[in-house]
């Protein structure tokens, strides 16, 4: 395939919580409203920001990570997007240089210009020092300028701009405003679908951005961010296109089970699976299916509803008794245990498929990129992914395997356990299926249970 050219920008910051998602959404919404085809990607493993970015851009959002998704996967997705997009936006992760690999590594690998977003609410001259440092800390990074966020007043904005060594890098200021703030909780942003005014908030952010130099960039100005995207040199993982042919997989999807990578759904469908969705919160039974996927989410926020939906509990138990495969990750696994205790100390009975209990704590229990050898599931291969959870589990189940840290990273403890009980496979580990499609397929096949 030919090289594809498209304006692109990576939105970064000196740390988490600076407002990257708000600015990425505002920029995407602004250009989408003007009729441009906008494609947005999220750097690193993240389930929540993509909900907002999808709403802002009107297009599916995929993850880019040089390790978890792989360099070839990143190259292919960016190239494909560039073929029909007018603008590509990549939202970074944590601080620009944080992590292994970092957002800066991704930007440098693909030549993406970097726009720095800095929360300037409690600074003046130091803003210029931060902007200078982000721009010059590493050689070889393209820089698209700096935007001040949560600014107190026009006078404050003037002080910030005056502190820059190169005022040509000034992309403007977003004032502090509740009209376009994105609410958060313990795992990150509240999902856009949970707020009745989500699109109103994004429109307000886009309107505010429209008054800045960044927001006033038209089609011609965007060409300063043009990037040439090439097809990957290395082949992607072998893709068994018929591995799940004829298999129907029921996928839990509602407010309690919502941590789903779009790429994972694509992967299963490309291997021949038919996906049917259901709500454990509102449904009374599983749809007819050969296998069940219980993804992560917020069972702790909906524990009482899950506990009182006896019909769904019975349907899931029937599925397990029939020896049909179940893949449960993080929140999905939490619901399979006998009891869940929330952070405020209240306990609720769960589905009782697995013996033991889970307890929410106020401190983070695990975070980071990891990989899991799923030999115990019959595939004998490794999946890449990550873990991010606030709960811990207590069970007498034997551990079939444990995750290992991604190269260059260290685990806090032993690694996430994989439990294999009959046809059920469960772990806190969130898998990226496209990292090893054959291993992912094995999770849903009865013969490998």
Asked if 377 is an active-site residue, the reply is no
Burial of 397 (0-12, 13-18, 19+ CB in 10 A): middle
Please give the Cα distance from 218 to 284 (Å, whole number).
51
What is the per-residue burial (b if ≥16 Cβ within 10 Å, else e) of 227-262? bebeebeeebbeeeeebbeebebbbbbbbbbbbbbe
Q: How many Å separate Cα 206 from the centre of its chain?
A: 22
Phi and psi angles of residue 62, each rounded to the nearest 5 degrees, phi first: -115, 160
Tell me the two tokens of residue 14.
């000196």
Inter-residue contact 359 to 350 (CB < 8 Å) = no
Which residue in the list 267, 289, 330, 377 is annotated as catalytic?
330
DSSP characters for 196-221?
TTHHHHHHHHHHHHTTSTTTT--HHH
Please give the Cα distance from 202 to 161 (Å, whole number).
25
Please give the Cα distance from 76 to 101 (Å, whole number).
18
- 365 to 50, 350, 411, 413, 428: CA distances (angstroms): 23, 21, 11, 10, 11
Please give the Cα distance from 324 to 30 (Å, whole number).
47
Inter-residue contact 101 to 66 (CB < 8 Å) = yes
Helices (H), 92-210: 103-110, 126-136, 154-162, 198-209
Closest CA to 28 of 40, 11, 44, 20: 40
Tell me the two tokens of residue 291.
């296998």
Inter-residue contact 77 to 262 (CB < 8 Å) = no
Which residues are known catalytic residues? Answer: 330
């Amino acid at each position: 395939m030919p090289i594809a050219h498209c304006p692109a920008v990576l939105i970064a910051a000196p740390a988490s919580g600076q407002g990257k998602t708000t600015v990425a959404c505002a920029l995407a919404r602004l250009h989408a409203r003007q009729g441009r085809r906008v494609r947005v990607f999220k750097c690193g493993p993240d389930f929540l920001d993509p909900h907002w970015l999808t709403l802002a851009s009107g297009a599916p959002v995929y993850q880019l990570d040089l390790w978890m998704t792989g360099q070839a996967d990143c190259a292919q997705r960016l190239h494909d997007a560039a073929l029909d997009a007018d603008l590509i936006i990549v939202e970074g992760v944590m601080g620009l240089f944080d992590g292994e690999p970092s957002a800066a590594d991704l930007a440098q690998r693909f030549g993406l210009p970097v726009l720095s977003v800095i929360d300037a609410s409690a600074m003046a001259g130091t803003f210029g020092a931060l902007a200078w440092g982000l721009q010059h800390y590493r050689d070889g990074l393209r820089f698209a300028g700096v935007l001040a966020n949560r600014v107190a007043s026009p006078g404050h904005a003037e002080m910030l701009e005056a502190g820059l060594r190169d005022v040509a890098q000034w992309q403007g200021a977003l004032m502090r405003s509740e009209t376009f703030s994105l609410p958060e909780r313990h795992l990150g942003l509240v999902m856009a679908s949970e707020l009745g005014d989500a699109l109103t908030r994004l429109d307000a952010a886009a309107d505010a951005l429209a008054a800045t130099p960044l927001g006033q960039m038209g089609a011609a100005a965007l060409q300063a961010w043009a990037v040439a995207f090439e097809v990957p040199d290395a082949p992607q993982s072998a893709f068994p296109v018929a591995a799940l042919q004829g298999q129907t997989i029921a996928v839990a999807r509602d407010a309690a089970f919502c941590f789903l990578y779009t790429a994972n759904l694509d992967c299963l469908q490309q291997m021949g699976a038919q996906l049917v969705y259901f709500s454990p919160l509102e449904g009374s039974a599983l749809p007819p299916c050969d296998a069940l996927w219980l993804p992560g989410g917020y069972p702790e926020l909906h524990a009482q509803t899950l506990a009182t939906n006896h019909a769904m509990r019975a349907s899931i138990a029937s599925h397990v008794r029939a020896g049909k495969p179940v893949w449960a990750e993080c929140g999905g696994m939490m619901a399979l245990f006998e009891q869940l205790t929330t952070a405020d100390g209240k306990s609720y009975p769960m589905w009782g498929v697995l013996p033991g209990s889970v307890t929410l704590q106020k401190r983070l229990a695990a975070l980071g990129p990891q990989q899991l050898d799923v030999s115990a599931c019959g595939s004998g291969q490794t999946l890449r992914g990550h873990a991010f959870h606030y709960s811990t589990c207590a069970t007498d189940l034997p551990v079939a395997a444990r995750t290992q840290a991604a190269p260059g990273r260290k685990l806090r403890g032993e690694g996430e356990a994989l439990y294999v009980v009959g046809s059920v496979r469960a772990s806190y580990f969130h898998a990226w299926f496209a990292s090893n499609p054959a291993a992912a397929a094995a999770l849903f096949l009865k013969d490998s249970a």
